[in-house]
Amino acid sequence: MPAMSEPITVLGGGNTAFSIAANLALRGHRITLCDLPEFAHMLAPLDGGGAIALNGVAETGDAGMHRVTTDVAEAFGDARLVLVPVPAYAHAAMARACAPHARDDHVIVVMPGTLGALEFARIFREQGAAPAVLAETDTSPYVCRKTGPAEAHIWGSVNMGLGVLPASRGDEVAATMQALFPDMTLLDHVAACGLSSMNPVMHPAGVLMNAGRIERSRGEFYFYDEGVTPGVVRVIEQIDAERRALGRALDVDLCPVADAFHRAGFGPAGDLWSTINGSRMLTQLKAPLVLENRWLTEDTPYGIATWAALGDQLDVPTPTMDAIIALVSIVLDQDVRTSGRSLRDLGIDGLSRAQLDALLA
């Protein structure tokens, strides 16, 4: 369990990285904030001892960092716990940067993972990295945004699920993470966690079915409050049924989407429409400004496209996911089945069920 002022490294320079770093720093932890050199501009406002101004419902105030750097070796130096809140399309680059500096006492947590811990593991194996413990969460810890170059706002905290690789280290890693994020729940393994992510369930279908409104209004409407209507909900629930079938093929009982949103703390118990429309956090969020945004460009090629490929390998039909994938490919003018995360990227292509179970355990 981390003591106050124990060094913790946060890798990334976006919304969630700034929010995590600031909140934990204000709670007394010694935070190193690091991003790759090509993203030095994201950290530049903190050069010379600048602090992150954090507002919202968590800790508030000016959060000073122990260290701000683009040197991954320096960032790994005295920290045992490394949090990696970066988009899925940045996982491979971040894993390659981390591999030479990983130690066997490191715990590296991808937040969220959407199976990203398996991609980290594959890259670490290929680079001969030390056997660090890898983990991932099923969502980000906060509904948050950067509101300025050195400012962040947290609208709400989220109860996360956690998967650990190897699963045998789960209790140990969960205790470490629960000291920072108390309402975290340990899941069976990283595949169960990756399949528990709600963004791929919700975003691609929701954006496609509001495509005209997004393009016409440039996002000037409240996505969850106005865009997640009963008809949209029915499509989302069908995607969720296919996701849960994938879980059953792995002997995992995945939480239904409505229950997952409620358990995460987003809204009241009930059917999905009631939970979403009763959410004080989600109903404050506007839609994306354009269709070419992470809700399509990340949550399809690194989310449901990967899940559909896993369905092919496990002989689980995913017709609704396949339809969404085909339409997103047309909208983005790219084949999202090949532009994102493949089973080969995860190191599980062609594995038998027994081999996959062994890898996860």
Residues 31 and 153 in one domain: yes
Residues 179 and 236 in one domain: no
173-188 as b/e, with b when 16 or more CB fall inside 10 Å?
A: bbebbbbbbeebbbbb
What integer pLDDT is reported at residue 283 of this predicted model? 85
Residues 232 and 187 in one domain: no
Average pLDDT, the chain: 95
What integer pLDDT is reported at residue 3 of this predicted model? 44
Residues 186 and 236 in one domain: no
Residues 22 and 151 in one domain: yes
pLDDT tens across 58-81, in order?
999 999 999 999 999 999 988 999
What integer pLDDT is reported at residue 265 of this predicted model? 86
Residues 180 and 229 in one domain: no
What integer pLDDT is reported at residue 334 of this predicted model? 94
Residue 273 is assigned to a structural domain of this protein: yes
Instruction: Answer yes or no: are the C-beta atoms of 150 and 51 closer than 8 Å.
Output: yes
Residues 70 and 101 in one domain: yes
CA pair distance 263, 265, nearest whole angstrom: 5
pLDDT above 50 for 351 = yes
Residues 160 and 204 in one domain: no
Give the H/E segment covering residue 239.
Answer: helix 230-249
What integer pLDDT is reported at residue 27 of this predicted model? 96
**Least confident among 1-5, 31-35, 220-224:** 1-5
Q: Number of structural domains, the chain?
A: 2
Average pLDDT over residues 11-35: 97
**Least confident among 194-203, 232-241, 259-268:** 259-268
Q: Can you give the CATH number for the domain in which 235 is found?
A: 1.10.1040.10
Residues 142 and 244 in one domain: no
pLDDT tens across 107-151, in order?
999 999 999 999 999 999 999 999 999 999 999 999 899 999 999
**Least confident among 177-186, 278-287, 333-342, 350-359:** 278-287
- Where is the domain boundary, 170, 194, 218? 194
Q: Which residues contact 77 (CB under 8 A, 6 or more apart)?
A: none
What integer pLDDT is reported at residue 47 of this predicted model? 87
Q: Can you give the CATH number for the domain in which 60 is found?
A: 3.40.50.720
Cα 24 to Cα 9, 307, 317, distances in angstroms: 11, 33, 42
The model's confidence at residue 2, banded by pLDDT at 50, 70 and 90, is: very low
List the domain range (segments joined by +) for residue 22. Answer: 7-194
Residue-level length of the chain: 361
pLDDT above 70 for 309 = yes
Q: What phi-psi label fits residue 84: left (phi over 0), alpha (psi between -120 and 50 degrees) or beta? A: beta
pLDDT tens across 260-275, in order?
999 888 889 999 999 9
Q: Provide, rounded to the nearest whole percent, the portion of the chain with pLDDT above 90.
A: 90
Question: Which runs of E-coded beta strand occur in 79-122?
Answer: 81-84, 107-110
- Where is the domain boundary, 194, 215, 235? 194
Residues 73 and 163 in one domain: yes
Model confidence, pTM: 0.93
Q: Provide, rounded to the nearest whole percent, the portion of the chain with pLDDT above 70.
A: 99
Residue 277 is assigned to a structural domain of this protein: yes
Tokens, residue 99: 């591999």
- Where is the domain boundary, 194, 211, 244? 194
Q: Which residues contact 114 (CB under 8 A, 6 or more apart)?
A: 88, 136, 194, 197, 199, 200, 302, 303, 306, 341
Q: Of 206, 314, 180, 209, which Cα lies nearest the Cα of 251?
A: 314
pLDDT above 70 for 4 = no
What integer pLDDT is reported at residue 1 of this predicted model? 38
CA 223 to chain centre: 20
What integer pLDDT is reported at residue 277 of this predicted model? 86
Q: Of 10, 361, 55, which Cα lies nearest the Cα of 180?
A: 10
pLDDT tens across 142-175, in order?
989 999 999 999 998 999 999 999 999 999 999 9
CA pair distance 141, 72, nearest whole angstrom: 23
Phi then psi for residue 304, to 5 deg, are -70, -25
Residue 2 is assigned to a structural domain of this protein: no
Residues 50 and 186 in one domain: yes
